[in-house]
Structures are given as C-alpha cells and as structure tokens.
Amino acid sequence: MSANGHAVIVGAALAGLRGAEAMRRAGFSGRLTLVGAEPHRPYDRPHLSKHMLTGEVSAAATALPNLVPLDAEWRLGTAATGLDRANRRLSLADGTTLPYDRLLIAAGTRARPWPNPAEGRLRGVHTLRTRDDAAALRAALVAGPRRVLIIGGGFIGCEVASACRTLDLPVTIVEPGPVPLARVLGRHLGAVVAALHEARGVELRSGTKVERLEDDGSGRVARAVLSDGDTIEADLVVVALGAVRNTEWLEGSGLKADEGGVDCNAYGQVLGEDGRADSAIAAAGDVARFPHPLYDGRRVALEHWGHAVAQAEHAGRLLAGADPGPAYAEVPAFWSAQGGITIKSVGLTEGADALAIAQGDPKAGRFLAVYGAKGRCIAAVSFDSGRWLPAYAEQIAARAPFPPIRGAADQGSLTILDPAFPEA
C-alpha cells in the first residue's frame, strides 16, 4: 500500500489514538481522519471509575496525551452508521459520507443498559462508560444520595463501590454470583475481594438479583426489589452489567460482526462473512475479536487498556503498509484499584481448572495466585504484589507447565486448589 490516500479511524478513544500514532510513526503521510461518536478528544478511561468519582480528577483532565504529531481531521460527536466496502465509503450520523482507502475499526463498546428501558430512564439511574457518564455520576454522588445501589459486582461495580466508601456514602452491591468478580477470578479470590469491601463498609448482597427498580412517584428511583423478595431503598443506582460492542453500524457491510465484536485474523485484518480478510481494514481494541495464539486460537475480544494500546499499534503498522511483525500475541493484562488494593492480572483465567497461591498470603492481603488449565499455566493475579507478576507473564507467554515456579526462596509449599468458578 502507498504512503498516501485517506486513512479513517472509527473510534476516537485510546485504541483509535494510538493506532493513528502508529500509522504516522510507520510513515503514513496521507490524509488521516478520526471519527468519534462522543464530542470529546480521546480521554483516559481508567480515571472515570476511580479518581473522577472521588473528585480528585476533573473530566477535562482525563484527556490522553498525544504522543506523535497526527495532523489529523477530527469528526467528533458523529458516530459511524454504515460501511460500504465495495465503494470504500463510510456513512456518518450527520448524514455525510466519508471515503477511505484504509480503515481502522476501533469503535469500542458502550455500557450495557438496564434491561427495562422505562426503569433505566428513571432519574438517579446511571451507567458508567463515557466521560459524560462519569461527570453525571460524580455530580449525583456530590448531591449526597442516601444510599447508592450498584447492580453488578464486576470490576466497574467494585471500583464505584470503593469510590462511594471513600466519599463515606452508604453503598450496596447486588451480585447474582456467589461473590464479586467470581466469573473472572473464581470464588477463592472473589471471597478475598468481598472481604476487602465489607471491611470498608460496603454492603454485599450476593446470590440475588435486582428484579425491578421502583420510583418515588415523581420519576426518581427510590428502591430496588430483589429476586429474594427483599427491597433496598436507594436513590442512586449504578447499572454495572458490562459492555456491549459497537458493531451495529457494520450490518450489511459483509463483515463478520455481532455483539461479541468484529472478527479479525491473527494480524488484525477484518474478516468478511466469506472468511476472507479485507486488507484495507483492520480492527483493534475492545471491538476486535481475534484468535489468541496463547489460548489455542480461541477468539477473544479484550476490554483491557494495555491491549487497546498494543493491538492498535500493531494494526496501525499493518495499515500503514509496514511489516507488522509476527501475529499479535500480547499477553492479556489489566489492573484494578479498589479499596486501596491494586489487583493486577496477566493471561486469561477462563477455563482454569487449578489455582495455587504461589506467593504471599491472602490473609495478609498481599499475594499472587496462578491459574492452570490442563497442566499449563494460563493466568496469574496479584493483590498488592505486582512485582512478582512479570515473571509469571513470561511463564504464561511460554505456555509453561502449571505451577510454573516452584521452590523459590520466598515461596511456601504449594497447595493446588479448585479456582471455583460459578456455573455459567
């Protein structure tokens, strides 16, 4: 591909920005346009569920550093609504079209809404995905709610609960699983997370679901009715049920896409419904579903900060016509800060059949757990013990036997446990 032409990036967030920078770094000198559904320049999302809620970081302060001069055109507040691959043309929400020679799909995700739209529209019911969501939630927290109810004990739910306690607000998490984070970490580590939040005054209601939200008669949420018949009085509700991938606009494009993402090959080129790669289009970040070589080619779409950066850089080089190197194989990694503890993870825990506390002690609040599947090391999770993690990331990348490290001077004897994931 030539160094010229028009490159369009759909998605003006972390992956879109880093992808654009990678294209410029790789020598692409043509016209570059970033299309974003939100009115804002790319911002750094991790602040949104943490220090923006506590008031330590303002909305405007979350703008991401731009690391390479982009000389780009920005089409912000204008979502892409359609893709015509035959004519290499995008449709935008403002009714215009945009031709492209190469396209990076980095459209990301949006918050999964509360399933009952009327209840979801009640005043006081929030989701948290965008900078504007976080600003609205921050304002609602400052107003001094009597109780905050968080629906869903995943990472966002737990981080929001943590921020509520920092603000000394009463908060309840309702989580259908046995403990928070059980789906990702299993019950053993989820129980550590539960204890951490309970010690800070978070009320945890596990093993039950919110059946419906009720208002106070004026359109403001007042309480939640649970599946076990109980009622929780709460005038602020945060729906934290995960994310939905933004792929609807790809309908009719002939690309393989659904709510789980847009399919790519191992290099990041998108796949048509006929299974053929489109060399003019790549995808990166939350929306890109790709075969991960470390996990036997299982197709995954990862909602991780570091992955958005690494995969976008890979895709940017590819679209710029540079040799992107070997297939994308970055070890998945994420972090979360909650209750004053930093949880970090490398690899993917899904499918784990064994767990060992490889370093430290959960009772002391600092430890590293390693997950195995079929005798191989697939993931490691640290609680306030991140310095051990890179050694385990190497073992995961090497598909080392489980447990990968034995007999280290600072290790106790290893007991192999069941990670205890809840039934799907």
Partner 1 sequence: MSDPTQEPADSEQISEGLRVAVDLNRCQAYAQCCYAAPEHFVLQGREALFYHPAPPLSARDAVERARLACPVQAIRVEVVTDRSA
Binding-site ranges for partner 1 (CB under 8 A): 39-41, 44, 46-47, 51, 54-67, 135, 305-306, 309, 333-335, 337, 340-342, 344, 366, 384-387
In the complex with partner 1, which residue's Cβ is closer, 45 or 256?
45
Q: How far is the CB of 88 from partner 1 (least distance, A)?
A: 30
- Residue 166 vs 411, nearer CB to partner 1: 166
* Contact assessment for residue 288 and residue 314, using Cβ atoms and an 8 Å cutoff: no
Min. distance of Cβ 329 from partner 1 in angstroms? 16
Residue with Cβ nearer partner 1 (51 or 399) = 51
Closer to partner 1 by Cβ: residue 41 or 123: 41
- Give the shortest CB-385-to-partner 1 separation in angstroms: 8
Q: Which helix (H) or strand (E) holds 243?
A: strand 243-245
Min separation Cβ 145 and partner 1, Å: 19
Q: Work out the angle at residue 69's Cα, subtended by the Cα atoms of residues 67 and 72, and round it to the nearest 5 degrees.
A: 120
User: Long-range contacts of range 27-30, CB-CB < 8 Å, 24 or more positions apart?
Assistant: 27/3, 27/320, 27/321, 27/322, 28/3, 28/319, 28/320, 28/321, 29/3, 29/4, 30/2, 30/3, 30/4, 30/5, 30/6, 30/101
Is residue 321 exposed (0-12), middle (13-18) or buried (19+ Cβ within 10 Å)?
A: middle
Cβ at position 193, least distance to partner 1 in Å = 15
Cis peptide before 99 (omega within 30 of 0): no
Q: Using CA atoms, how far apart are residues 50 and 296, in angstroms rounded to an integer? A: 35
Q: Which residue has the tokens 């990862």?
A: 302
Q: Residue 356's closest CA among 293, 415, 281, 421?
A: 415
Find the farthest-apart pair of alpha carbons in the chain and give their distance in angstroms, rounded.
65
Measured from the CB atom, is 6 or 41 closer to partner 1? 41
The smaller minimum CB distance to partner 1, of residues 93 and 135, is found at: 135
CB of 177 to partner 1, least distance (A): 25
User: Which positions ≥6 away from 398 have C-beta within 8 Å?
Assistant: none
Task: Kindly state the tokens that stand for 185.
Answer: 């970490």
Closest separation between CB of residue 390 and partner 1, Å?
A: 8
CB 141 within 8 A of CB 168: no
The candidate with the shortest Cα–Cα distance to 377, out of 399, 355, 345, is 399
Place of tokens 């690309």: 255
Q: Which residue number, 54 or 206, has a Cβ lying nearer to partner 1?
A: 54
Give the residue with the Cβ less far from partner 1, 31 or 41. 41
Name the minimum Å distance from CB 264 to partner 1: 22
